[in-house]
Amino acid sequence: MENGKKGIVMSGIRSTGFLHLGNYFGAIRNYVRMQEEYTCYFMVADLHSLTTHPDTKELKPNVHRVLAENIACGLDPEKVALYCQSHVYETAELYLLLNMLAYKGELEKTTTFKDKVRQHPENVNAGLLTYPVLQAADILLHRASLVPVGKDQEQHLEMSRNFANRFNHRYREVFPEPFAFNFGEALIKVPSLDGTGKMSKSENQYATIFLSDSDDLIRKKIMKAKTDAGPSAPNMPMPDYIENIFLLMKLVSGADTIQKFEEDYNKAAIRYGDMKKQLAEDMIRFVAPIREKAESIRQDQAYLKRIMEMGAEKARISAAATMEKVREAIGLKYY
């Protein structure tokens, strides 16, 4: 392990859509901490996107955007391997070999597969069915034991453990078991602005703050956030949609600002218009530098090419060493 770091971390980053505040506080902020202490492989999952996005016109700008936004948030391509899945050809080889250990019945039972079949009955391809196998290949390729994932991915991670154990049992011990990892802290769920759950790329775009939103758009979105007439008496319990505004404020505002509005609420003297204006300005101060840095990275095609080449080279060194062990264990070495 390099430089006495604690362990190997692997995480996939979706190559579609725009990063939002929930992605930052739920995942990327942790990645930035991990890069200091662990050997990290962060992969843009472009092959995964082919299972549901057969139209690939947007693939290149999407990949460039995702790389730029992650770097702008603090991921350092010098400290981690930041690479595209399709640039590491060993992924496809391990995916093929793991498919021999994956059973149709267990793949059909995965929640995400059942959801996708319901949503797109006309596009149930083999890639969709074997999605968890490709995900396992991504992780096992680096013999990673630490995988930062949200609750919704824990079933896939359990399948990766199953495939690792099945391989080790059938052939010989090559893979460590991968486990979910988030610094032992509760995962932060960033609430949406319409009070209906967490921020999401796909639900209500107006209830989500994207890291690429303009200052004016951020102001507009926050001013539309759900509020009410305010508490009618001191120290009333707070409705969840008001609590959400305070939660957002805790992410980007100073302690004194939060304290002022909490006191106003408890005195039944809060003015939600003022609170939202303050939140909007604090949010802009947080998002604008990330947006501007990401935009300048996106314009620099030569830099992006260098980052992708450097990331792929680091990932391939790790992948080649694993595949050497895999071929040997299976018996695919004939001379």
CA max distance for the chain? 83
Q: Which residues, 6+ apart, have CB-to-CB distance to 325 below 8 Å?
A: 174
| 116 classed as catalytic | yes
**Active-site annotation holder among 79, 201, 226, 277:** 201
| 325 classed as catalytic | no
For residue 240, give both structure tokens. Answer: 């969840």
For residue 50, give both structure tokens. Answer: 């082919």
φ, ψ for residue 331 (rounded to 5)? 100, 25
Nearest partner of 265 among 302, 221, 233, judged by Cα: 233
Q: What is the C-alpha separation between 231 and 104, in angstroms, rounded?
A: 56
**Active-site annotation holder among 116, 221, 276, 314:** 116
92-100 long-range contacts, CB within 8 A, separation 24+: 93/323, 94/137, 94/140, 94/141, 94/319, 94/322, 94/323, 94/326, 95/130, 95/133, 95/134, 95/137, 97/326, 97/330, 98/133, 98/136, 98/137, 98/140, 98/163, 98/167, 99/130, 99/133
- DSSP for residue 45: E
Of all residues in the chain, what percent are helix, strand and coil, respectively (each to 5)? 60, 10, 35
| 333 classed as catalytic | no
Torsion of CA 52, 56, 59, 60, to 10 degrees: 170
Find out whether 229 and 271 touch, Cβ atoms under 8 Å: no
Supply the residues annotated as catalytic: 116, 198, 201
